[in-house]
Structure formats: C-alpha cells, structure tokens
C-alpha cells in the first residue's frame, strides 16, 4: 500500500498527460502529493522528503508553465519531473540521509534502526531507486533526441524501472535478515 501511495502522484501525472493539459496534470499530481503528505502526517508519520519534494516539483513546474512559459512539450516536462526526483535522491545521499530511511524507521523497532546494517541497507535501497530514476531520465532523453523511437518505450522503461525498484525494496530487507539474521523479525521495508 505504501509503495502505491508513494508512486501514485507520478502515475497520475503520466496518465493525465495523455488526456489533459500539462498544467492540469502537474497541479493534479501536486494536489495528490499534498494529500499523501497530509495523510501520512495525520496518521502519525513524519514528513518525508520524497513526498514533500514531489509537492514542490509538481507545484513549481505547474506554476512556471502556467505563469511564465507554457510552451514546454510533454516529454520536456517528464524530463524535468524525473530530473527533480533524481535530484532529491542524490541530495539525500549527499547529506547522508537516504530518503528511504524515513520510511524504514516507521516499520522497525528502535533497536533495529540503530544497527549499522540498517543504515547500509537504506543506502543500498536508495541507490537502487536512484538507478531507477536515472533509467527513467535516460528514457525521457531518448524520446527527445531520438524522435523516431516509439513513445511507448519511454513509458515501458519508466514502468519497469519503478516496479524493479519497488520489488528490490521489498526483497532486500528480507535477504539481509536471512543472511545476517536479526534478534526479532521485522516487517519488510514498505516503500
């Protein structure tokens, strides 16, 4: 469920881009992101940098396209969104606070979150997501610089990259527990 909520604004954005204007797609994705942030905070969770960053990315792009330059192509907007999400992931790694850490801490006990392997696992999972974001960005760039390439290839790469990152996020904590063991079994990381 949590994985779905995290990527829901991006899926909604991509679907809306096919049937409505860029600005409406961006503002709808921003509103959905804001709703997810509010839901998470109301249920007692922390403000997550990926969710808050999504609100900012979608809102800023929507305002820019509405107020300043409305001549962006759908592919250029997707490129900007994917670049913004990649920037969030890279900044989280640069500041030594992988964005997956906020989600993981809500699903493990305090003792587990203090283990060195816990932090290492979050770095690895964040790098997996960063790789997925890079693949999505490359797919967008290919559709810009190779216009003969079918548009569905970009969507297929994005879909495969996101789903692979979700699957890895669910698998890797279980793998670490099986390999290194823990005193008390914890839930798989829900991202």
Summarised one tens digit per residue, pLDDT across range 11-54 is 889 889 889 999 999 999 999 999 999 998 998 888 889 999 99
pTM: 0.82
Average pLDDT over residues 123-147: 90
Closest alpha carbon to 82 in 31, 154, 2: 154
Confidence of residue 188 (pLDDT cuts 50, 70, 90): low
First to last CA, the chain: 9
Closest alpha carbon to 138 in 123, 124, 156, 164: 156
Residue 6: predicted pLDDT: 77
Is it the case that residue 132 has pLDDT exceeding 60?
Answer: yes
Q: Can you give the length of the chain in residues?
A: 191
Average pLDDT over residues 123-139: 93
Structural tokens at position 100: 């997956």
d(CA 162, CA 135) in angstroms, rounded, equals 9
Query: Domain-by-domain residue ranges, the chain?
Result: 2-180
Closest alpha carbon to 100 in 7, 9, 190, 4: 190
Is it the case that residue 98 has pLDDT exceeding 80?
Answer: yes
Residue 183: predicted pLDDT: 47
Phi/psi of residue 97, nearest 5 degrees: -140, 75
Whether 46 contacts 102, CB under 8 Å? yes
Average pLDDT over residues 165-170: 90
């Amino acid at each position: 469920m949590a994985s779905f909520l995290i990527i829901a604004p991006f899926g909604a954005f991509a679907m809306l881009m096919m049937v409505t204007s860029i600005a409406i797609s961006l503002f709808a994705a921003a509103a959905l992101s804001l709703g997810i942030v509010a839901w998470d905070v109301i249920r007692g969770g922390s403000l997550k940098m990926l969710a808050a960053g999504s609100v900012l990315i979608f809102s800023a792009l929507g305002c820019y396209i509405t107020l300043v330059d409305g001549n962006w192509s759908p592919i250029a907007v997707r490129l900007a969104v994917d670049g913004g999400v990649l920037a969030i992931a890279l900044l989280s790694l640069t500041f030594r606070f992988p964005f997956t850490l906020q989600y993981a801490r809500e699903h493990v006990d305090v003792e587990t979150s203090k283990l060195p392997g816990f932090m290492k696992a979050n770095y690895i999972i964040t790098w997996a997501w960063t790789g997925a974001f890079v693949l999505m960005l490359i797919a967008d760039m290919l559709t810009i610089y190779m216009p003969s390439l079918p548009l569905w290839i970009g969507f297929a790469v994005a879909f495969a990259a996101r789903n692979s990152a979700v699957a890895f996020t669910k698998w890797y904590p279980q793998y670490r527990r099986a390999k290194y063991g823990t005193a008390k079994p914890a839930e798989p990381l829900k991202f």
